[in-house]
Structure 1
Amino acid sequence: MAKLAFLGLGVMGYPMAGHLQAAGHTVTVFNRTAAKAEKWVAQHGGASAPTPREAAAGADFVMACVGNDDDLRSVCLGTDGAFAGMDNGAIFVDHTTVSAKVTTELYAAAKALGVSFVDAPVSGGQAGAENGVLSVMCGGDDAAYAKAEPMIDAYARICRRLGDSGAGQMTKMCNQIAIAGLVQGLSESLHFAEKAGLDGAAVIEVISQGAAGSWQMSNRYKTMIEDHFEHGFAVDWMRKDLDICLSTSDEIGATLPVTALVDQFYKDVQQMGGGRWDTSSLIKRLRALSA
């Protein structure tokens, strides 16, 4: 069993930290809203700290799951940042979806302090975090990853090292690129079925058993048919991720025409007031266009 810190108790981090505590580790949490940390301690045990540095003090591993590049820098760097409190040889595991640029920056900053940094973004959404079945894609030094993997297993269905620092974030970009096209395709399929007068649920029952089947189809078709979009990953966050994908594609010379198009469709959803709707709300845009 290890001494751990967990920074960021959002819809993902809250249950992930809970799984670590339930696995028998000693967990100290930090959250910008202290009341959320106090609630977590009341529910799971462990302890809370007022700053990332104090949470990280003496920890073998420090996990983070925050919002974006700037949020991650704020919990890592500075006099109150986690790096300032970490012991030589400790390992920082970042579960945030951020740019490969900030990952490279923080990997170097950690290494200069004798701390290891593993980028480990996750896929599986809130339900995956709550059920402990996330897909975790990692980058970083092999030795650090080997030590961190047993900790990550507390909330992972699969955890893999894909390469050196930044490889985890690059793989998460592949994940978001694939999802963008899948959700748009599913939205168009259900929209077409509605316009054709077909029973959408019956259509999905048949086509999901063939080559068209996907996680998105199995898990989102019912709420899409019901025009209910309060589940899963929000459009605002998806646009943040797709911006990272598109910026990186320019840097590495990749061509992402479908991703760029779907990003604009999500922009339309935001303008409809749907920034906090889940990503399957692309169908709502189609319904509005054909109304």
Structure 2
Amino acid sequence: MAICAFIGLGVMGYPMAGHLQKAGHDVTVYNRTAAKAEKWVSEFGGSSAPTPAEAAKGAEFVFSCVGNDDDLRSVMLGDGGMFAGMDTGSVLIDNTTASADVARELYAAAKDMGISFIDAPVSGGQAGAENGVLTVMCGGDQDAFDRAAPVIDAFAKSCKLMGESGSGQLTKMVNQICIAGLVQGLSEGVNFGVKAGLDMEKVLDVISKGAAGSWQMENRGSTMVENKFDFGFAVDWMRKDLGICLEESKRNGARLPVTALVDQFYAQVQERGGNRWDTSSLIDLLARG
């Protein structure tokens, strides 16, 4: 079993770190709000540290799961950052959804210090994190991935190396682009069915077995019919992710007309106070107008 550190105990990181500890790894955690780290230790064991650098000290594998590019730089760089505490030859696995640019930047900085860096954003949402069945998309060097993959398996059902540094983040962008279009299509279909007077539970049961079936339909269809959104992947987070996608598309020349439109729909959800609603709340714009 490995000596690990986990930086960032949010909705995703808290259970992910827990799965590492339950798998037999020795985990030290850091969280900006110390009380959250103390709660984690009382629930799972392990230990906590007052800074990212101290949490990372002596760890073979250091995980991070924070908010955005700037958050990453703040917990990795500087005297109290993870890099300052990590040993030569250790591996940093970043599970944050961030830009490919910051992944490449941190990969280069880590390499200069003799540290391996893997960008490894995840998909599967809060439920996937809690159940230890996330999909992990990795970018980086093969040897570092081969060392880290058995440890990542503690919270993953699928873990693949997608290519060089930044490839994990680019793959996550594809994931979010696909989800945006799927949720809008599902919202329009469900709203249409309701307006047509159909029993939508029956409709969803039937069409989910055919070509229209998707994870979103299986996991969000019924709650969309019931207008329940106070759970899941927040609209604020999705807008952050879609913003990354749209910025990257400007650089690579990909056209994202539907993604740009759905991003603006999410802006309208935010305007009506749905910042923390699940992404399936797109249907609220259709149901309530």
TM-score (norm 1): 0.99
| d(CA) in 2 for partners of 1:192, 1:172 | 30
Counterpart Cα distance in 2 of 1:180 and 1:280: 10
Alpha-carbon offset, residue 288 of structure 1: 2.0
SS of alignment partner, residue 97 of structure 1: coil
- The equivalent of 2:179 in structure 1 is 179
**Which segments of 5 or more consecutive residues in structure 2 lack a partner in the other structure?**
none
Aligned ranges for residues 106-121 of structure 1 at < 5 Å?
A: 106-121=106-121
Superposed counterparts of 1:112-151, under 5 Å: 112-151=112-151
Residue in 1 that maps onto 2:69:
69
Q: What residue number does 2:189 align with?
A: 189
| Residue 79 (str. 1) matches residue 85 (str. 2) | no
After superposition, residues 202-221 of structure 1 pair within 5 angstroms as 202-221=202-221
The two structures, once aligned, show a CA RMSD in angstroms of 0.5
Matched letter for residue 7 of structure 1: I
Q: Which residue of 2 aligns with 1:259?
A: 259
Aligned position for 1:50: 50
Partner in structure 1 of residue 4 of structure 2: 4
The one-letter amino acid of 1:199's match is D
Query: What code does the residue aligned with 2:3 have?
Result: K
Distance in 1 (alpha carbons) for counterparts of 2:145 and 2:10: 24
Q: Partners of 1:82 and 1:143 in 2: how far apart? A: 21
Q: In structure 2, what is the Cα distance between the partners aligned to 1:132 and 1:154? A: 7
Which residue number corresponds to residue 224 of structure 2?
Answer: 224
Query: Where does the alignment leave 5 or more consecutive residues of structure 1 unmatched?
Result: none
Aligned with 1:137: secondary structure? Answer: strand
How many Å separate the matches in 2 of 1:199 and 1:261? 29
What is the CA–CA distance in structure 1 between the aligned matches of 2:79 and 2:59, rounded to whole Å? 17
Query: Secondary structure at the residue paired with 1:189?
Result: helix
How many residues are aligned here? 289
Aligned residues: percent identity? 70
Does 1:167 pair with 2:170? no
State how far apart, in whole Å, the 2-side matches of 1:276 and 1:22 are: 30
1:203-258 CA distance string (max 9 Å, x none) = 11111111000000000011111111022100000000000000001100101111
Give the structure-2-normalised TM-score: 0.99
The answer to whether the aligner puts 1:102 opposite 2:102 as a matched pair is yes
Match of 2:25 in 1: 25
Find the residue that maps to 1:10 and give its secondary structure.
Answer: coil
